[in-house]
């Protein structure tokens, strides 16, 4: 179903989020080298706070627990901050070798026992709590989707979903893997919700696919799981987020762009 918007999504949503049904996975094994930062990127300060603090603002009201997927050398500095900020509310999973985001989510899934799971990239500081709550309520709602994947339309997309005649996501294009991209496209927002058992199944199937590795990077990517779920299950793609919410912090320029937006909602 593709027609959920900021105006009508409540018709298809649960009355409230049940945090006890939710675990969040945050792949955060990257370093802040492109930011000129020697510590793990998730500890980089944006708008006067660490990236991890912005993430916790919208995750913890909605999820009983957060699993952080870290590199071996990132564990000590990140865990020190997590123990200070949210003792007892987190788990750590270690991605020993950086094999891609699909691998990172698989590593994190081993720590998940709740009915639902959400994944958010570890640099998505600008997502609003109201948008996150809407997605989780849709996932818990009467449509009983296998996945909720909010999307936005953007110029010069890095990611684009191609749809078939019925409106179902049929193919994923990724600029980083060398795909030819349209001038305007439909992109993900860096935030995804699943029924946990379905994500385990489909991600496992994807890993076994000989063509699952990226053409250019050779990585086991996460986003190709979305067309797989769409072929066999129900993927809801609500248009409820603004383009400003989807800016990830990968450079100092990104941080400068997102800081005014963060201040407006602080």
Task: Tell me whether residue 4 is in a domain.
Answer: no
Contacts of 68 (CB under 8 A, 6+ apart): 26, 28, 42, 78, 82, 90, 91, 92, 93, 108, 122
CATH at 89: 3.90.550.10
Q: CA–CA separation, 152 vs 145, rounded Å?
A: 19
Q: Please tell me whether residue 106 adopts helix, strand or coil conformation.
A: helix
- Asked if residue 251 is part of any domain, the answer here is yes
Q: What is the pTM for the complete model shown?
A: 0.95
Asked if residue 140 belongs to a domain, the reply is yes
Range of the domain at 165: 9-265
Q: How many CA atoms lie within 13 A of 199 on its CB side?
A: 29
The pLDDT value given to residue 179 = 93
- Of 148, 173, 160, whose CA–CA distance to 234 is shortest? 148
Averaged over successive runs of 10 residues, the pLDDT of the chain (266 residues) comes to 84 97 95 85 94 96 97 96 96 94 96 98 95 98 97 95 95 93 96 97 85 80 94 95 92 91 81
Please tell me the distance from the alpha carbon of residue 148 to that of residue 141, in angstroms, as a whole number.
Answer: 11
Domain tally, the chain: 1
Radius of gyration of the chain (CA): 17
pLDDT for the residue 211: 61
Residue at 3 is within a domain: no
Distance CA 125, CA 2 (A): 26
Domain presence at residue 60: yes
Predicted pLDDT at 30: 83
The confidence score (pLDDT) of residue 167 equals: 92
Residue 235: predicted pLDDT:
97
CA nearest to 192, candidates 266, 242, 246 = 246
Residues 161 and 202: their CA atoms lie apart, in Å, by 18
Kindly report the number of other CB atoms within 10 A of residue 91's CB atom.
16
Which two three-digit tokens encode residue 72?
Answer: 């071996």
In a domain, 2, yes or no: no
b/e sequence 8-36, b meaning 16+ C-beta within 10 Å = ebeebbeeebbbebbbbbbbbbbbbeebe
Which ranges in the chain belong to alpha helices (H)? 51-59, 75-85, 101-109, 129-140, 196-208, 225-232, 252-265
Q: Two tokens at 206?
A: 């994807």
How would you classify the pairing of strands 116-120 and 90-94? unpaired
Residue 239, domain member (yes or no): yes
Distance CA 185, CA 163 (A): 11
């Amino acid at each position: 179903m593709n027609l959920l918007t900021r105006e009508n999504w409540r018709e298809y949503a649960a009355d409230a989020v049940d945090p006890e049904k939710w675990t969040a996975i945050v792949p955060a094994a990257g370093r802040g080298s492109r930011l000129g930062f020697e510590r793990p990127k998730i500890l980089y300060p944006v708008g006067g706070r660490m990236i991890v603090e912005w993430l916790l603002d919208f995750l913890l009201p909605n999820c009983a627990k957060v699993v952080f997927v870290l590199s071996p050398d990132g564990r000590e500095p990140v865990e020190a901050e997590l123990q200070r900020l949210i003792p007892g509310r987190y788990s750590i999973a270690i991605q020993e070798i950086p094999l891609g985001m699909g691998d990172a989510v698989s590593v994190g899934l081993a720590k998940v026992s709740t009915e639902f799971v959400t994944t958010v990239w570890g640099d998505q500081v600008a997502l609003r709590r109201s948008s996150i709550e809407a997605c989780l309520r849709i996932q818990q709602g009467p449509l009983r989707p296998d996945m909720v994947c909010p999307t936005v339309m953007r110029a010069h997309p890095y990611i684009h979903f191609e749809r078939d005649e019925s409106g179902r996501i049929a193919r994923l294009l990724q600029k980083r893997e060398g795909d030819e991209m349209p001038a305007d496209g439909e992109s993900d927002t860096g935030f995804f919700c699943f029924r946990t058992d379905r994500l385990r199944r489909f991600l496992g199937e994807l890993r076994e696919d000989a063509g699952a590795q990226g053409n250019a990077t050779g990585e086991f990517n996460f986003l190709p799981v979305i067309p797989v779920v769409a072929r066999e299950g129900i993927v809801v793609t609500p248009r409820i987020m603004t383009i400003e919410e989807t800016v990830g912090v990968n450079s100092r320029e990104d941080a400068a762009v997102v800081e005014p937006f963060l201040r407006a909602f602080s």
